[in-house]
Structure 1
Amino acid sequence: MLPATTDVLVVGAGPVGLATATALALNGIDVTVVDRAASAAHTSRAAVVHARTLEALDRVGAAAPLVAAGVPAPRFTIRDRDRVLVPVDFDGLATPFPYALMVPQSTTEAVLNDRLTTAGGTVLRGREVVGLDGATATFAGGARIRARRVVAADGMNSTIRRLAGIGFGGPAPAGESFTLADIKVDGGPPRDEVVLYFSRAGMLVWAPLPDGTVRIVAAVDDAPEQPGAEFTQALLSARGPAREPARVAGVVWGSRFRVHHRVADAFRAGPILLAGDAGHVHSPAGGQGMNLGLRDALALSDALVDGSDAALDRYAAGRRREARQVVRFAGGLTRLATVPAPARPLRNAVLSALAGVPAFRSSLAHRLAGLSDRP
């Protein structure tokens, strides 16, 4: 049953909403989490948690179980088929988590939900917000919750952001087309390494997952709604390794999507605060989306525990500034990955030359890990 009042109402029970609520509950804040879906999703697009994000999640006890459930990848490479263009090593980073942790978003959500339950919280599912008057939310069916603050963690198409009258950077552009698939595969690169293939036929990401499957993401002109084994094999054969080819044994799950690069006009409107995809969306390049959102969550929880308008304003300004930086970074990687075919050999030659500069490799490692602007 919905409570009549709560201190903080979190709308959306994805990783961002769960992390925000967990941190608040651990600090003794009365928090209510609602989600319009009747059950948690079992498929997910995000599959990597970076070092800076693990440092943040360690504060709520979520880092250790995530590491136990995931595959640490201490190395990231950009390749042109078998030729390494840019090697990026995370194991020299000054962090307790010197790797990219490969773990499905569904596992991240399960770990955070467990931490929320341990902190005394729960998720009220099948509850859709249809109206907002200040910080009073009206639900389908007529029930209301009067809150002191409302957190919009309800994704790119955020109802709360719309009801609060916050713009989202204008109409969404068409965006690049991508295919995504989790595949059973034999052969291919080592299973402790993430590879970004910049081949003449196009870009492709190879990312190992804990259950032995591999996630591939590729920019394509016309992605099928559900990519099959023949389609994914053709991508790997044209863009992936040649000397040790990867053979697709089956597709576990697949999808397609278009990417947009947008940042909300503001992250605060009075008692309404935005976090995660409600405030920013961008391409999957660099695996920054969920990571940025989870860091939003922990920063927002700090501001809400403080409770002052000054703290909330600092959150809104600071996280919007970081969102704009990450969107620029992800957009730049996407443009680099999707340059027209005639320019790809030149791009690869330039990257190979830059890789000979240690400062370039170090800067890229810090940027990907989220450590480039550590206080």
Structure 2
Amino acid sequence: MSTTPSNKLPDTTAVVIVGAGPAGLTAAITLADAGVDFVLLDQLAEGTNTSRAAVVHARTLEMLKELGIADELITRGVVVPTFTVHDGGRTLATVGFDNLPTEYPYTLMVPQDTTETVLLGRLRKAGGDVHRPYEITRVVEENDAVTVEYTDGTGSSGAIRADYLIGADGMHSVVREQANIGFTGDTYPASFVLADVRMNWPIARNEVALHLSPEGITVVAPLPDDTEPNRYRVVATVDEAPKQPTAADIQTILDTRGPGGDVKVLEVQWSSRFRVHHRVADRYRAGRILLAGDAAHVHSPAGGQGMNIGIQDAAFLGPLLARVVNGEPDTILDSYETTRRPVALGVVAFTDRMTKTATLRPLPARFVRNTAISLLTRIPAVRNKLAFRLAELANR
């Protein structure tokens, strides 16, 4: 298998994985554990040091437990057992995760760079590693193999031949494009602000709070704060987000949409803007080429589902591919698409409904929405069903 990275890649391997985010790292771990030879490539010179996705749900923790790293990740995160929905100072719904049928009846808030650090440590423990920086320029499937052409950090070109290729290279996947796999969907009109801040916030740190308002949707969730107190993740829709939102920008959003009271943004530690798409790959497999993570599906951040189902993709695909490499029929790979693509379609539909419902602007529609949320979530079965869905336990 791939061990210490170097400027020289092997000419052949069983599996090439493109993209060393959470999905690619998870796939690599499962292959390493199965003793399958692989090469994991990433175009970045070093791993990202920004938090991006910050939610790990119960189903993902169950799968990470099988890899032996759930406990380590939990010690680095914040356990959040409650999800609340607000409109201004009014609480419309309180959804608890404590009754879920899982060892992990909560949401874990942990920055993505921390998740990737834990996954990379686990991969290295299994004897694997990441080769950086390698940019994929061409993918060709022929003669019962896949040839992956690349350029390295010095501009030198080369190629590696593999039995199979996993494209875990994100929304703008080169692997998906080279395989001529469509990416059907659309783009939301609003842009999103994403920021990690230090602030005074009146809502308890055991809650992820969703705030509805005519101006847009806002989510505030606690982040680990052992060395930097009062850290929170803020995600908000705005018509046109600034390229790098400032403390003043975040303060304005929270003053306009938040719960009122003592809200004071003290520092922006990291911020970004992005457009959100809701798309699913038309196929998850094209011969010897397979897709996982954001290369296969992207959607609204409502509910924090994205990174989670990407990790779950890879945890399903890796062992399946190992079985094929070790001699089982290639046809068993078809079950990857038939199992995982419906999950992505369901999540895209679910998060799309959440986003459209949360961003209603006309007063009559908002009144009906708020009344429905308040009444329905008083029913225990409805609350439990929503918690079960958010925790992704339906993906079992």
Decide whether the 8 Å contact of 1:198 with 1:348 is kept in 2: no
Q: Which runs of 5+ in 2 are unaligned?
A: 1-7
Question: What RMSD, in angstroms, separates the aligned Cα atoms of the two structures?
Answer: 1.3
Tell me the equivalent position of 2:135.
128
Tell me the equivalent position of 1:189.
203
Partner Cα distance (2:38, 2:222) in 1: 36
Decide whether the 8 Å contact of 2:280 with 2:298 is kept in 1: yes
Tell me the equivalent position of 1:163.
178
User: Aligned in 2, Cα 1:200/1:166: closer, same or farther, shift over 3 Å?
Assistant: closer
The superposition leaves residues 76-131 of structure 1 with CA deviations (integer Å, 9 ceiling, x where unpaired) of 11112232211111111111111100000000000000000000001000111111
Partner Cα distance (2:341, 2:195) in 1: 31
Tell me the equivalent position of 2:219.
205
Partner Cα distance (1:250, 1:341) in 2: 34
Tell me the equivalent position of 1:31.
38
Q: Offset of 1:142 from its aligned partner?
A: 2.6
Partner Cα distance (2:129, 2:17) in 1: 11
Say which SS state the counterpart of residue 143 (structure 1) adopts.
strand
**Which amino acid in 2 is paired with 1:41?**
T
Decide whether the 8 Å contact of 2:214 with 2:361 is kept in 1: no
Say which SS state the counterpart of residue 302 (structure 2) adopts.
coil
Q: Work out whether 1:363 is the aligned partner of 2:378.
A: no
**Which amino acid in 2 is paired with 1:316?**
E
Partner Cα distance (1:345, 1:202) in 2: 15
Tell me the equivalent position of 1:78.
85
Which residue among 341, 352, 355 is the counterpart of 1:320? 341
Partner Cα distance (2:234, 2:160) in 1: 42
Decide whether the 8 Å contact of 1:76 with 1:193 is kept in 2: yes
Partner Cα distance (2:188, 2:109) in 1: 29
Say which SS state the counterpart of residue 326 (structure 1) adopts.
helix
The superposition leaves residues 196-232 of structure 1 with CA deviations (integer Å, 9 ceiling, x where unpaired) of 0113443210110002410111111111111111111
Which residue among 98, 102, 114 is the counterpart of 1:107? 114
Q: Offset of 1:310 from its aligned partner?
A: 2.6
Decide whether the 8 Å contact of 2:34 with 2:319 is kept in 1: no
Partner Cα distance (1:125, 1:185) in 2: 36
User: Aligned in 2, Cα 1:175/1:59: closer, same or farther, shift over 3 Å?
Assistant: farther
Partner Cα distance (2:99, 2:267) in 1: 36
Q: TM-score if structure 2 supplies the norm length?
A: 0.91
Once the two structures are aligned, what percentage of the paired residues are identical? 50
Decide whether the 8 Å contact of 2:213 with 2:359 is kept in 1: no
Say which SS state the counterpart of residue 350 (structure 1) adopts.
helix
Partner Cα distance (1:317, 1:279) in 2: 13
Partner Cα distance (1:293, 1:52) in 2: 12
Q: How many residues align?
A: 372
Decide whether the 8 Å contact of 1:5 with 1:147 is kept in 2: yes
User: Aligned in 2, Cα 1:195/1:335: closer, same or farther, shift over 3 Å?
Assistant: same
Decide whether the 8 Å contact of 1:200 with 1:345 is kept in 2: no
**Which amino acid in 1 is paired with 2:383?**
R
Q: Offset of 1:238 from its aligned partner?
A: 1.4
Which residue among 90, 93, 102 is the counterpart of 2:97? 90
Decide whether the 8 Å contact of 2:83 with 2:207 is kept in 1: yes
Say which SS state the counterpart of residue 128 (structure 1) adopts.
strand
Tell me the equivalent position of 1:353.
375
**Which amino acid in 1 is paired with 2:78?**
V
Partner Cα distance (2:69, 2:267) in 1: 32
- What does residue range 264-283 of structure 1 map to in structure 2 within 5 Å? 264-283=281-300
Partner Cα distance (2:188, 2:268) in 1: 27
Tell me the equivalent position of 1:178.
192
Tell me the equivalent position of 1:233.
251
Tell me the equivalent position of 2:57.
50
Tell me the equivalent position of 2:75.
68
Q: Which runs of 5+ in 1 are unaligned?
A: none
**Which amino acid in 1 is paired with 2:223?**
L
The superposition leaves residues 41-62 of structure 1 with CA deviations (integer Å, 9 ceiling, x where unpaired) of 1113200000001101111112
The superposition leaves residues 161-219 of structure 1 with CA deviations (integer Å, 9 ceiling, x where unpaired) of 1111111116x535431111111101321112101011344321011000241011111
Say which SS state the counterpart of residue 217 (structure 2) adopts.
strand
The superposition leaves residues 344-371 of structure 1 with CA deviations (integer Å, 9 ceiling, x where unpaired) of 2221111101111111101100000001
Partner Cα distance (1:145, 1:373) in 2: 35
Q: Offset of 1:309 from its aligned partner?
A: 2.2
